[in-house]
Structure 1
Amino acid sequence: MSRELPSAGWPAGEPLTVAIAVPLEPEFVDAIRAVDPAVTVLYEPDLLPPERFPADHAGDPAFTRDPEAEERYWKLLNSADVLYGFPNESAAGFARIVAENPKLRWVHAMAAGAGAAVKASGVSSAELERVTVTTSAGVHALPLAEFAMLGILNGLKRTAELAADQRAKHWPALRTPTRLASGSHLVIAGLGEIGLETARLARALGMTVSGTKRSAEPIDGIDEVATADRLPELAARADALVNTLPGTAYTDGLIGREVFAAMRPGTILVNVGRGTVVDEEALLEALESGTVGYACLDVFAVEPLPADSPLWDHPRVLVSPHTSALSAAENRLIAERFAANLRKYLDGVTLPHRVDPVHFY
């Protein structure tokens, strides 16, 4: 979910300094510089950890700065009005820069769900009124939606059973039919940008779609839109349930025993939102009873997923290590999003995808 709140804007013609706090390719830094002549972009790649893979915003954990480089890094960030990325890509880094830099007005986060890190930083609501935090929500919508469809199709087409038979070199005497996507019904918990992109792909396969949103206004192409309290009612008609919701006090354990009890046997569950939304103990019970026929999980209540979690070894669960949003295009897409937002900020236009300073979504 995201909110659009007014931006304080920037005085016309006044110089504005942006500091790049996370690894980023030089061509994307140049694209940010090109937004306006009034913008100075500070970028010192030797102070940033190397990426191990595309969009590795935290960079190589083995990277360290000597005391002189560490001082230079923080001096650079403390001279900025706007930051691209959290310092050291951490909640602690965000807390430090807010405390040390009184001129800081805006930080753009790499994550779509940056609210959890903002909350973990302990930065006060008053400071969050001074320092706007925006997220990269929407940039990850397509890869997450494609992953959600992967999970749905895996469940419909029995790929877990096929893989087990292949490993055992077993050719069943009786062939088991698979289910069609066309004509199946998908319920999406969270009809934000990720949810709507998932709905678009699902409808292209002939699925019907319903889902939840904070306000239940109709949405074109969605059979029914309801608030989260009606999720059990929607789940009772689902062939598949996809969660895209962020982790908040309001979504914690939302997909739990009540929702699972309402499901029909063999329902597919996909989670590309946050792990805390799904009650994992209740999920395991639903898997054992057959209520959930297949679960495709990219996120978990505790990450990394503990080695003793039964989810690792369950024959009808796919464990993905919170990587479904990653793509080779991510850095470019986030830089383009930031550049567009920077133009808005300079023009005094509302900044989208601001982290709510009270509810942290």
Structure 2
Amino acid sequence: MDVLFLFRIREHQEDMLRSEFPEVNFLFDRKTDDPAVETSEVIVTYGTDVDENVLVRAKNLKWIMVASAGMEQMPLGRIAEMGIRVTNVRGIHKTPMAETMLAHILSYRKKLKDVYEQQERSEWNQKIRGTELLGSKAMILGPGAIGGEVGRLLQAFGVRTYGCNRSGRQAEYMDEMVSFGGLAEALPEMDTVISVLPSTSETKGLLSREHFGAMKESALFLNFGRGDLYEEKVLIEALESGRPAAAVLDVFETEPLPADSPLWNMENVTVSPHISSHSGKYVERALEIFMPNLRAYLEGQADKMQNRVDPERGY
């Protein structure tokens, strides 16, 4: 059986896979124009290079392993029609992303930007006044694996956490829950608003002028989910009007963010170039999900595979 990797992994990881699965013919670091696309039963991809043309050629394809959590760039409708099994690596981003979000929140609340700027000027000024997280409230849109982890960390600082999902169903490390429909009513109480929502038909354009206008003048907004959660011009107008006070953005409508975007030069915006999930352990953690799944697949126990994705729903 051929298993095709459309990206590079380290040599010791290749050796580990060959040792664990001697019955499998692994083809590493190939491109979509490789003839092996036509024979491979499994394709492992980051999800940006499997399009309709690849599917037409992939006559033997039974399973796509996506080494990412996002699925929006894949032809999911066609994949569903073909009955191809899809899994992803949902959950492996939670540690680096939650740590990054917490770092930005603490930096903002403790006025570290001002501290650094003073040092550059060799200025001794004790008038900087940061605030505490203790006793504050945070709204987390998308309290899944990543949202739950940032909720856990925030709770350790004494923050009361509110989760927001489609149904309002309870989620781990959330003190209270609201549904998408109740979001606008809850926002005026929030000191921090964080989105880690995926891109789906229900989340595209979810945040409107009403939502931003309902935020506190002192609120910090972070988007670490997807850039189509709102129209970027709406967020820019909201930040210019002072609600929210500031934003940390790791995702954007257009990536890379165009050089002429106003976001680059706004004093109350931190532009993070979609790097919050970067970690030296990324592939290692992806393989920790892939290997048990491959074992289950080979043993005819596909129902036991982790992180199965419904192509029709996109998650």
Provide TM-score, normalisation by structure 2.
Answer: 0.90
The CA deviation at 1:122 is 6.7
- Tell whether 2:266 aligns with 1:314: yes
Match among 343, 348, 351 for residue 302 of structure 2: 348
Paired residue secondary structure (2:303): coil
Corresponding residue for residue 6 of structure 2: 21
Corresponding residue for residue 13 of structure 1: none
- Tell whether 2:206 aligns with 1:250: no
Percent identity between matched residues is 32
The CA deviation at 1:213 is 2.0
Gaps of 5+ in 2: none
- Tell whether 2:16 aligns with 1:31: yes
Corresponding residue for residue 292 of structure 1: 244
Gaps of 5+ in 1: 1-15, 49-69
- Deviation per CA, 1:17-41: give whole Å up to 9, x if none: 322221111222233334445x413
The CA deviation at 1:165 is 4.1
- Tell whether 2:40 aligns with 1:80: yes
Corresponding residue for residue 81 of structure 2: 126
Match among 64, 72, 96 for residue 116 of structure 1: 72
Paired residue secondary structure (2:263): helix
- Tell whether 2:268 aligns with 1:302: no
CA contact (8 A) 2:143 2:171 kept: no
TM-aligned CA distance change 1:269 to 1:258, over 3 Å: same
The CA deviation at 1:292 is 1.6
Q: Partners of 1:215 and 1:247 in 2: how far apart? A: 17
Match among 255, 260, 264 for residue 212 of structure 2: 260
Paired residue secondary structure (1:219): coil
Alignment of 1:1-361 (within 5 A): 16-37=1-22, 39-44=23-28, 47=30, 74-85=34-45, 90-91=48-49, 93-113=50-70, 115-119=71-75, 123=78, 125-127=80-82, 130-168=83-121, 171-172=124-125, 175-346=127-298, 347-361=301-315
Q: Partners of 2:202 and 2:302 in 1: how far apart? A: 32
- Deviation per CA, 1:155-181: give whole Å up to 9, x if none: 211233444444455555x71421101
The CA deviation at 1:107 is 0.9
Q: Partners of 1:315 and 1:138 in 2: how far apart? A: 33
Counterpart amino acid of residue 221 in structure 2: L
TM-aligned CA distance change 1:322 to 1:259, over 3 Å: same
Q: How many residues align?
A: 313
Counterpart amino acid of residue 158 in structure 1: K
Counterpart amino acid of residue 238 in structure 1: M
Corresponding residue for residue 8 of structure 1: none
Q: Partners of 1:225 and 1:41 in 2: how far apart? A: 47
Paired residue secondary structure (1:188): strand
The CA deviation at 1:315 is 1.0
TM-aligned CA distance change 1:255 to 1:152, over 3 Å: farther
